[in-house]
Amino acid sequence: MKKVIVTGGTGFIGSHTVVELLQRGYDVVVADDLSNSKASVIDRIAEITGEKPILEIIDLSDRTACLRFFKMHSDADAVIHFAAAKAVGESVLHPLHYYRNNLDSLLYVLEGMEKAGCRKLVYSSSCTVYGQPEHLPVTEDTPRQPATCPYANTKRVSEDILADVVHGYEAGKQKGTLEADYKPWKILALRYFNPIGAHPSALIGELPNGVPNNLMPYITQTAAGLRPCLQVFGDDYDTPDGTPIRDYIHVCDLADAHVAAMEYMDKGGFEGMDYFNLGAGHGYSVLEVIQSFERSTGQKLNYKIAGRREGDIEQIWADASKANRLLGWKAKRSLDEMTLSAWKWQESLSKTI
């Protein structure tokens, strides 16, 4: 069984990916500081899969702790690095925390991997690196834009760090300075669009701390009566109904893509770094997401149109054909499946908490 280290494996995308990996026969070690998740997620994963992954509670931006962790798990075959802080507004208020947390941890993970001789990495990047693109849909060659907030900048800089690591490896190979048995670096940066939805078991899902920043948990919490009203941030954009458009992707489709990425790295011929857009390839407006929620759950949602949110882009969706072509992966689940599964998860939370 191949052992995979999943950092941030108790988080939203991480937990769904761990489920998929376990169900495909991987051996999983989760590293998480539980700063935005709960240890009980591990029990939920065990309930779904019948396998309980090891959980190491660790702050990866603590170099000593991180290197010790990699030494303990030096038999790992690959790493999927989700662990990071991701709230746009919070990153504006606490930039130093974001840079330290997201960048230090990446540097120490890479150092730990280098020392352990484990050089296969799947990195969680984001469509945020594209900013507001000129042409839609965006391909992986669409130019990246200067970041609009510290969070977005950590994703951009992280991609650059990874490219430099691979470049350093390639330069060493050319100069013949690497040891004969040096394993090549294989890095995939996956640029996620807007992941929503939850596992069909409703045992795991998104668990935002406090007031949600993102659309889907705000919708489900409003429908559950935890928030009085959803504010739709702007209906005066240059889109068919005036509300912004995003490429929403079911978190289980995203989890599948990580397994496809792992398999791709094992295929002969791949080394170095590559980038993949992970989106459904369709754009939906905020109002369309609300309509889908109302249709799939049979509930009316209380919402009102409010002013634009600072820093929001107007519209973006992915050309995900490269992932389809090379990873053999495609998003399968519909928007209604996304909104309904998110609601079932919210309902299960109301029952258990």
Interface with ligand UD1 (CB under 6 A): 86, 88, 126, 128, 152, 194, 213-215, 218, 230-233, 244, 246, 286, 309, 312-313
* Parallel/antiparallel/unpaired status of strands 54-57 and 27-32: parallel
Smaller CB distance to ligand UD1: residue 36 or 297? 36
- Shortest distance (Å) from residue 152 CB to ligand UD1: 5
Smaller CB distance to ligand UD1: residue 70 or 275? 275
- Rounded to whole angstroms, the Cα distance separating 265 from 279 reads 20
- Shortest distance (Å) from residue 214 CB to ligand UD1: 3
- Rounded to whole angstroms, the Cα distance separating 234 from 239 reads 11
The answer to whether 128 and 147 have CB atoms below 8 angstroms apart is yes
- Shortest distance (Å) from residue 304 CB to ligand UD1: 10
Smaller CB distance to ligand UD1: residue 152 or 261? 152
Amino acid (one-letter) located at 301: L
- Rounded to whole angstroms, the Cα distance separating 30 from 42 reads 9
Smaller CB distance to ligand UD1: residue 166 or 320? 320
From the list 26, 98, 123, 151, the catalytic residue is 151
* Phi, psi for 195 (deg, rounded to 5): -75, 130
Is 151 an active-site residue? yes
Helices (runs of H) and strands (runs of E) counted in the chain: 12, 13
Smaller CB distance to ligand UD1: residue 53 or 279? 279
Local structure of residue 353 (DSSP, 8 states): -
- Rounded to whole angstroms, the Cα distance separating 247 from 321 reads 14
- Rounded to whole angstroms, the Cα distance separating 220 from 199 reads 15
Residue whose C-alpha is closest to residue 301's, from 223, 220, 201, 185: 223
- Shortest distance (Å) from residue 156 CB to ligand UD1: 11
- Shortest distance (Å) from residue 190 CB to ligand UD1: 12
Catalytic positions, written as ranges:
151
